[in-house]
A and B are shown apart, each in its own frame.
Chain A
């Protein structure tokens, strides 16, 4: 684990190699790995007292959970997806792939005898699915409620890992950054007139909220101690929408 870029590239490759399965690779697209989550995870686990080999297993296992959850999000209620034989097969394999990746995370951690960490990840998956149900049934009362639900669905996994290692700084950062990044993606949906749950807030109110939050999250990153320089460098790059927004506001 050298520079953050190197770590990310190496870890991404290791993870993608781990989930290679010829028949699935032929019919479903390669899972996308969320680099922000991976960068946070590497920093959290790198600062733990685990042995190096275990560190790698922890990163892979946690990302396998994330990939499993993301893959299952590709399964749709829309029956039109299944109209063509290939569409049907892709949908079916997405179900199986998600289950396969879940099995792999358990297998990996069982073999390094990390039973408590398996339990932690399982609890996070349970809670994430509870919140996905809430979002699916549109049981969102207000904008803060929406943010809290998104925080649980997208940020919980990584922040729970940070909490497991008593890393309060990165727990807070993971929570904030991942939620904010998710909200920016929702903002994009509004711009492109796609369906979104953000109906209880106007565009102006949302933009004001995003700007304020971006500044606050950038502050959290800047205040991180120098031991996190790699992570700071990764997040404070200019081409990130959160950084751009916070800078434009400051300017």
Chain B
């Protein structure tokens, strides 16, 4: 994620995280090393490391612990993406060929398992059992979220509550614990780490809702994947749930989902229909509501520079275009 220039003081620590990330994936097998390096090089927003870094700056900052935690959370996130691409049979991610597409399913699976193992090797150098209890619980929840998402695919009989629970597990949880654990390794009291968790949770919810909006409003070039990819995969997101208040849209969607393999013309038709409803505006409203809650969660935290940046990030997420 590009941070404004005024936050340049974070650059040094972010560079350290980046270097630590490269160091952590130096596999012995050349293709495993190459595949892992490509993943790191592909960039990504690094939101989890940024949140770890900022949260830990609110307390007693120890770079070594922060590096281990930030690297571990990013590796876990990367491992999930590599395996997701096998599940979705995806050829592109962030505009580049996926590991699955380049090397096949098996290598993608081995790479994901390797990254996950490296993440746990890194993070277990921090001995605080609370950290591992929180992190491991979140990892199990993330998996359950993915399984539940699979179960709900191509099923139009879903509620908003269902969607919110899914994106909590899919996205918000890892962001929430990035903030919480950042505070924990910096020795913040439980009251503050809980507030950081809530901040991360609300930001994560907003972030995913915006991701789901951008899936319809961005270009394929900006997304690095086809527009409407969620619908193609059979995933019902918030804009779709709002658009389903329109009966004609729901009927057309039901027809399209019955075949499970949608034609491009069908996708385009559904996109046009969705954009004619107020689904995008309503989704932005929900995202903004979460962002407001995120800002409120920060109220009682120490008034450090990092707190201001956490506020700015929440506002930035609300405005992001891709």
Contact = CB atoms under 8 A, between A and B. Distances in A.
Interface of A: 21, 23-24, 69, 72, 75-77, 82, 85, 89, 92-93, 95-96, 98-100, 102-104, 106-107, 109-111, 113, 115-116, 118-119, 121-123, 125-126, 129-130, 132-134, 136-137
A98 B87 CA distance: 12
B121 to A, nearest CB: 5
A126 B117 contact: yes
Given A82-B89, A123-B121, A93 B147 contact: yes
Given A98-B113, A119-B124, 4 more contacts: A23-B148, A89-B150, A106-B132, A126-B114
Interface string B157-199: 0000000000000000000000000000000000000000000
B116 interface: yes
A129 B105 contact: no
24 contacts: A72-B109, A76-B106, A77-B104, A77-B106, A93-B150, A96-B83, A96-B143, A102-B113, A102-B116, A103-B136, A103-B142, A104-B140, A107-B136, A107-B140, A110-B136, A113-B132, A115-B124, A116-B124, A119-B124, A122-B118, A122-B120, A130-B27, A133-B31, A137-B31
Contacts of B31: 133, 137
B120 A106 contact: yes
Nearest to B121: A122
A190 B32 CA distance: 30
Interface in B81-120: 83, 86-87, 89, 104-107, 109-110, 112-114, 116-118, 120
B260 interface: yes
Contact of A96 (B28, B107, B118, B146): B146
B177 to A, nearest CB: 13
Nearest to A116: B124
Given A104-B140, A106-B120, A129 B110 contact: yes
B129 interface: yes
A110 B133 contact: yes
Contact of B139 (A76, A85, A107, A137): A107
A119 B121 contact: yes
A66 B120 CA distance: 16
Given A129-B117, A136-B107, A110 B129 contact: yes
A91 to B, nearest CB: 8
B45 interface: no
Which of A69, A110, A116 is the most central at the interface, judged by chain B CB atoms within 10 Å of its CB?
A: A110
B260 A69 contact: no
Contacts of B86: 75, 92, 95
B109 A130 contact: no
B117 A125 contact: yes
Contact of A92 (B132, B139, B144, B150): B150
Given A100-B140, A103-B142, A115-B127, A134 B29 contact: yes
Contacts of B87: 92, 95-96
A126 B121 contact: yes
Contacts of B110: 129, 132-133, 136
B14 interface: no
Nearest to B132: A110
Which of A23, A96, A111 is the most central at the interface, judged by chain B CB atoms within 10 Å of its CB?
A: A96
Contacts of B135: 106, 110
Contacts of B136: 103, 106-107, 109-111
Which of B89, B110, B137 is the most central at the interface, judged by chain A CB atoms within 10 Å of its CB?
A: B110
Contacts of B83: 95-96, 99
A133 B132 CA distance: 29
B143 A99 contact: yes
Contacts of B147: 21, 23-24, 93, 96, 100
Contacts of A99: 80, 83, 112, 116, 143, 146
B151 interface: yes
Which of A21, A75, A129 is the most central at the interface, judged by chain B CB atoms within 10 Å of its CB?
A: A129
Contacts of A77: 104-106
Which of A21, A89, A99, A126 is the most central at the interface, judged by chain B CB atoms within 10 Å of its CB?
A: A99
Contacts of A130: 27-29, 32, 114
B34 to A, nearest CB: 11
Contacts of B80: 99
Contacts of A119: 120-121, 124-125
Contact of B113 (A72, A85, A96): A72
Interface string B228-246: 0000000000000000000
Contacts of A21: 147
Contact of B32 (A95, A100, A129): A129
Interface string B249-269: 000000000001000000000
Nearest to A132: B110
A180 to B, nearest CB: 25
